């Protein structure tokens, strides 16, 4: 709609130029004027936004040779000033001014009409291009403000998410410490009751069940919320460099684990800790639900594309599966989502369980 309105305005301005040219008796045949005017209007509709420079280079000679396309030349120059860099628009205005001054001097000579015509056209085009440059500068300024606001909002969101993550880690640590202490006491008292000589067989059996249940609950508690617990202040935080040692621990326990580490040099400590926790949870799940199955761990990426963590193991029914709370993967998904990453997992058509996580390379 805008292009059509501008084409009509350019045509109307061209008609004014054409009437002046006809009255002075130096116009081209009307058929040529109409044909070039239609081409100029069509060019404005089709190429004003996408190719304003090429359109202007075509309209400048047409506007000098014919009267009707002269109305489209200012609109094309305005489009150049609006959509291209200032030096491009200034160059085209200078080119047009030089050509108009030269051609009109040849046609009119050093007359008053020559001076008035050249001054009018140059001032018209310079004014329009200057207005277009101002509009373009205003748009760029508004866009820069919008980008700054977006970056500030994104930074605020990340700070809020980091604060939430820190609060979740603090609460998880507190819960783990308190419940671990209570369950440990329960297991100790149950064990003492189990070995009492004056206890009946039923009491000893019940105490043994309580002790075993407390031990299992303690292990489940540690496996579920260990990923969210911040390390103690006197212990170093795990990083990406600790993943090989983690894999070696699983191998020492009899697991068949393969590790491929490609890239990751200079990874931020926070990202490295997330990778460590993901691999740790994946190996724990493999030991629980697929004991004895080979496990493959692959870590790759860099600062430009982020880090990919892939763990897959064969689905097997050999041996009894260890009990679990079933919240480990849900916790991983929350951890990955809080830092802006992605997590996918599940069985594949090849009979494997596949876990893949992507983490952004952020400080």
pLDDT digits (tens, 9 = 90+) for 251-296: 877 788 899 988 767 888 888 888 888 898 888 888 777 777 899 9
Q: State which of 100, 121, 144 marks the end of a domain.
A: 144
Residues 329, 354, single domain; the answer is yes
Residues 296, 332, single domain; the answer is yes
Confidence of residue 322 (pLDDT cuts 50, 70, 90): very low
The CA distance from 257 to 261, in Å, is 13
Nearest C-alpha neighbor of 81 from the set 41, 47, 53: 53
DSSP letter, residue 121:
H
Residues 258, 351, single domain; the answer is yes
The CA distance from 223 to 320, in Å, is 18
Q: What is the DSSP string of 74-101?
A: HHHHHHHHHHS-HHHHHHHHHHHHHHHH
Confidence of residue 173 (pLDDT cuts 50, 70, 90): low
CA distances from 297 to 84, 243, 286 (A): 51, 10, 11
Residue 39, C-beta contacts closer than 8 angstroms, at least 6 positions apart: 62, 69
First to last CA, the chain: 48
Query: What's phi and psi for 3, nearest 5 deg?
Result: -60, -40
Rounded to the nearest 5 degrees, what angle is found at the Cα of 277, between the Cα atoms of 306 and 336? Answer: 50
Confidence of residue 358 (pLDDT cuts 50, 70, 90): very high
Residues 13, 59, single domain; the answer is yes
* 150 in any annotated domain: no
* 81 in any annotated domain: yes
Domain that holds residue 12: 2-144
**Count, residues in the chain:** 363
The CA distance from 57 to 84, in Å, is 14
Confidence of residue 310 (pLDDT cuts 50, 70, 90): very high
The CA distance from 339 to 215, in Å, is 33
Residues 259, 353, single domain; the answer is yes
Confidence of residue 7 (pLDDT cuts 50, 70, 90): low
Return the higher-pLDDT residue of 266 and 23.
266
Q: State which of 200, 227, 254 marks the end of a domain.
A: 227
- For the entire predicted model, the pTM comes to 0.42
Residue 146, C-beta contacts closer than 8 angstroms, at least 6 positions apart: none
* 149 in any annotated domain: no
* 261 in any annotated domain: yes
* 325 in any annotated domain: yes
The CA distance from 44 to 75, in Å, is 8
Nearest C-alpha neighbor of 357 from the set 240, 250, 274, 294: 274
* 83 in any annotated domain: yes
Q: Where is 263: in which H helix or E strand? A: strand 257-263
Is 60 exposed, middle or buried (CB count within 10 Å of its CB: 0-12, 13-18, 19+)? buried
Q: State which of 144, 171, 205 marks the end of a domain.
A: 144
* 152 in any annotated domain: no
Query: What are the CB-based long-range contacts (under 8 Å, 24+) for 155-160?
Result: 158/340, 158/362
Place of tokens 């369950």: 183
Residues 128, 40, single domain; the answer is yes
Total domains in the chain come to 3
Residues 46, 87, single domain; the answer is yes
Return the higher-pLDDT residue of 163 and 297.
297
Residues 20, 126, single domain; the answer is yes
Summarize pLDDT for 61-108 with one digit per residue, the tens: 887 777 777 778 888 888 888 888 888 888 888 888 888 888 777 767
Summarize pLDDT for 97-120 with one digit per residue, the tens: 888 888 777 767 777 877 887 888
């Amino acid at each position: 709609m805008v292009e059509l309105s501008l084409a009509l305005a350019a045509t109307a301005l061209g008609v004014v130029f054409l009437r002046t040219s006809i009255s002075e008796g130096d116009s081209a045949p009307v058929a040529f004027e109409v044909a070039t005017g239609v081409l100029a209007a069509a060019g404005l509709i089709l190429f004003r936004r996408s190719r304003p420079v090429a359109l202007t280079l075509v309209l400048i000679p047409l506007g000098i040779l014919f009267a009707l396309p002269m109305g489209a030349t200012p609109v094309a120059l305005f489009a150049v000033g609006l959509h291209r860099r200032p030096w491009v628009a200034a160059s085209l205005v200078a080119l047009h001014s030089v050509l108009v001054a030269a051609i009109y001097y040849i046609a009119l000579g050093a007359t008053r009409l020559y001076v008035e015509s050249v001054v009018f056209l140059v001032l018209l085009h310079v004014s329009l291009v200057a207005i277009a440059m101002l509009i373009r500068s205003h748009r760029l300024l508004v866009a820069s403000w919008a980008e700054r606001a977006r970056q500030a909002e994104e930074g605020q969101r990340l700070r809020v998410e980091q604060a939430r993550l820190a609060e979740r880690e603090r609460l998880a640590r507190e819960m783990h410490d308190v419940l671990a202490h209570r369950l440990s006491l329960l297991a100790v008292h149950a064990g003492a009751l189990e070995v009492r000589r004056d206890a009946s067989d039923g009491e000893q059996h019940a105490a043994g069940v309580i002790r075993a249940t407390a031990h299992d609950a303690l292990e489940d508690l540690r496996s579920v919320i260990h990923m969210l617990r911040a390390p103690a202040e006197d212990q170093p935080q795990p990083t990406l460099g600790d993943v090989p040692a983690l894999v070696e621990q699983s191998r020492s326990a009899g697991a068949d684990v393969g590790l491929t580490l490609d890239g990751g040099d200079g990874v931020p400590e926070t990202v490295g800790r997330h990778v460590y926790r993901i691999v740790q949870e994946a190996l724990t799940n493999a030991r629980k639900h697929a004991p004895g199955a080979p496990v493959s761990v692959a870590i790759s990426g860099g600062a430009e594309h982020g880090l990919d963590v892939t763990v897959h193991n064969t689905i097997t029914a050999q041996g009894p599966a260890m009990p679990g709370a079933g919240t480990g993967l849900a916790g991983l998904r929350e951890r990955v989502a809080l830092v802006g990453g992605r997590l996918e997992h599940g069985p594949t058509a090849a009979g494997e369980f596949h876990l893949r996580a992507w983490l952004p390379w952020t400080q």
